[in-house]
Amino acid sequence: MKLQIEGQNLRVRIGEEELARLLAGDAITARTVFARAFAIRCTLRMGDAAHFGGQPDDWQIEIPAVAVREHAQRLPTREGLGFILAGPHDGEALELLFDVDVRDSVRQRRSS
**Mean pLDDT of the chain, nearest integer:** 92
Q: Is this structure's pTM higher than 0.85?
A: yes
Measured CA to CA, the distance from residue 61 to residue 51 in angstroms comes to 6
Neighbours of 45 (CB within 10 A): 16
Measured CA to CA, the distance from residue 81 to residue 76 in angstroms comes to 13
Residues 40-48 have a mean pLDDT of: 97
Residues 14-43 have a mean pLDDT of: 96
* pLDDT score recorded for residue 91: 84
* pLDDT score recorded for residue 6: 96
CATH for 2-111? Answer: 3.30.1360
Q: Could you tell me the sign of the dihedral formed by the alpha carbons of 21, 70, 100, 31, in that order?
A: negative
Measured CA to CA, the distance from residue 74 to residue 83 in angstroms comes to 18
Q: What tens digit of pLDDT does each residue of 52-90 get?
A: 999 999 999 999 999 999 999 999 988 999 999 998 888
